[in-house]
Structure 1
Amino acid sequence: MINFNGDILDQEKFSLTAENRGFKYGDAVFETIKVVNNKVIFWEDHYFRLMASMRMLRMKIPMSFTLEFLEKEILSLVKANNTSQKSRVRLTIFRKDGGLYTPKTNEIDFLVEASELNHNIKNDYKIDIFKDFYNYSGLLSTIKTNNKMLNTLASVFAKENDLDNCILINEKKGVVEVTNGNIFIVKDNVVKTPATTEGCIKGIVRKKVLEILSKNEEFQVEETSISPFEIQKADEVFITNAIIGIQPVTQYKKKTFKVDFSKKIAKNLQVLEFTT
């Protein structure tokens, strides 16, 4: 089942039109959200990021699009699909049909999809850099639009080369993120992650990890530019996103990493998921 504009429909009987702007132009934004025991994890953060993204793309936000309304629409679908215990949800917003590059209207439709979440943290996790194309720095790169060809190509490259993920770089050859999340590196007592000015997504879990680290005086946190060479020198590397939480990286090229710090932060994050 899916939820289209508030109606719960059979997925097999639902279809988009040939004029759908998300399909034709990538004129859409989305949030990938975890639901556990009927609780939408970090929902306020997802909601406010979505509203900011819609405003940036000049989409008309309906008066009904309150925090409570969208949460109810998500949970109604999760209940209909019997995945309330642990669910992966995608909420997609796209401009209504019509127009060429210039849309006929800025009004929107919304689509909620929900499936059972069966994700486990991997003990061995290999990454490398995807160099064929760049993730250009700039404000538009920081929001989650449907324009994800770079991520798709990098994921194909990872699969072809027996990797678990790929690092995306920008036009300055700086580290941006990985195909499905943000990246952190740890060296001694310094924790670094690419600044949003490098072109990375304003990740929800990225934000939460920064909040956790800001309260720990033992570590110095930097949102900055990172060269690929710094990854090889790091003690630890980990990836964050809304579904996996924290995934430690164990190998980059010939370098092997420890995972102690990553696991410690993951435990702190799990506590935060159910107290906010």
Structure 2
Amino acid sequence: MQKNYIYINGQIIDEDLAAIQAKDQGLLFGYGVFETIRIYNGMPLMLMKHLERLTAALCIMEINIPSLPILEAEVTRFIHHIKLCNGVLRITVTKGFKEATILFTHRETGYDAESYKKGFSLKTSAIKRNATSPLSYLKTLNYMDSLIAKRESLRAGYDEALFINTDNRVSECSSSNIFFIHDQKLYTPAITCGLLNGIVRALILSDIVKELNLTVTEGEYVLDTLYQADEIFITNSVIQIMPIIKVDNQIIGNGLPGSTTKKIMEQYSKHIAKLLPN
């Protein structure tokens, strides 16, 4: 594991020496956004997709930062400086006090091969996603709903929390998007259900379904639809694609990762391999 260096406003320093201003609005109000990026062999996967989503959110939140090319160069400099080969890079940008605070941190992925073989379980949270709130569509520092829901799911013996929205339609999980399969057709909640448009979610919808000749539908679904699904999986940039074998008390399929989910996982791995340097 690399020494815990961080990047803060252009400087790369030991994390024990890092500090932000007491009046930073990210600290006082959760006024900021972040991105988590998977690193493979020293390469930040789909970096520009993440930076484009980050800057789009910053524009909405009226936070000014350097241009995309400059930010991309700084990410590359940080990764090379700390010799980050594999893991997770987090970019955090806050409103700051007089100017924005830009922070890069890193960590290990936290998932092993056994997790993917076994699959995860989901517990529906009593907290509901608000599809009318702009925060539901941005990766902001206002993350307490997700943290509370995830903590409650772990305490109950589940791996991840599932949100439905205020219209009682399936939305997303605490840190991931959700897909389900019925009769070999793929379904996922529409963005308007109050969810973040994940980078991996978008890749599946734009490329992987075409490569596997799958039919996919974005729509509104009640919780019972998930209970009756043949297969379910969740996605995000760190976890990638994780099979789901249980939702609440309902076993999904035969309680093992499904065949179509495995095909999607394999195709995703092939897609990622094409992006990596030789």
> What TM-score comes out, normalization by structure 1 length?
0.89
Mapped partners of 2:95, 2:21: distance in 1: 13
**Cα shift at 1:156:** 1.2
1:3-26 Cα offsets, whole Å, 9 max, x none, are: 011110110011222211111111
Partner of 1:256: 252
Mapped partners of 2:33, 2:240: distance in 1: 21
Matched to 1:55, the amino acid is C
The 5 Å alignment of 1:15-94 reads 15-62=19-66, 65-67=67-69, 69-84=70-85, 86-94=86-94
The 5 Å alignment of 1:1-276 reads 1-62=5-66, 65-67=67-69, 69-84=70-85, 86-97=86-97, 107-121=99-113, 122=115, 123-131=118-126, 133-138=127-132, 139-215=134-210, 218-252=213-247, 253-257=249-253, 258-276=257-275
1:148-180 Cα offsets, whole Å, 9 max, x none, are: 111011111111100001101111111111111
Mapped partners of 1:146, 1:164: distance in 2: 22
**Cα shift at 1:262:** 1.3
Mapped partners of 1:160, 1:8: distance in 2: 37
**Cα shift at 1:30:** 0.4
**Cα shift at 1:66:** 2.1
Tell me, which stretches of 5 or more residues in structure 1 are unaligned?
98-104
What SS class does the counterpart of residue 250 from structure 1 fall into? strand
1:40-75 Cα offsets, whole Å, 9 max, x none, are: 10112111111111111122243xx223x3233223
Report if aligned partners of 1:135, 1:176 keep a CA contact under 8 Å in 2: yes
Report if aligned partners of 1:26, 1:146 keep a CA contact under 8 Å in 2: yes
Report if aligned partners of 2:176, 2:235 keep a CA contact under 8 Å in 1: yes
Report if aligned partners of 2:228, 2:252 keep a CA contact under 8 Å in 1: no
Partner of 1:100: none
**Cα shift at 1:216:** 5.0
What SS class does the counterpart of residue 58 from structure 1 fall into? coil
Mapped partners of 1:158, 1:233: distance in 2: 21
**Cα shift at 1:120:** 2.0
Mapped partners of 2:110, 2:144: distance in 1: 25
Matched to 2:131, the amino acid is S
What SS class does the counterpart of residue 262 from structure 1 fall into? helix
Mapped partners of 1:50, 1:246: distance in 2: 22
Matched to 1:212, the amino acid is D
Matched to 2:105, the amino acid is E
Q: Which moved more, 1:179-188 or 1:134-143?
A: 134-143
What SS class does the counterpart of residue 12 from structure 1 fall into? helix
Aligned residues: 263
What SS class does the counterpart of residue 54 from structure 1 fall into? helix
Partner of 1:102: none
**Structure 1 204/12 Cα, relative in aligned 2: closer, same or farther at 3 Å?**
same
**Structure 1 16/61 Cα, relative in aligned 2: closer, same or farther at 3 Å?**
closer
Report if aligned partners of 1:169, 1:175 keep a CA contact under 8 Å in 2: yes
What SS class does the counterpart of residue 175 from structure 2 fall into? coil
Q: What is the identity percentage for the equivalent residue pairs of Structure 1 and Structure 2? A: 27
1:71-90 Cα offsets, whole Å, 9 max, x none, are: 33223323333322x02110
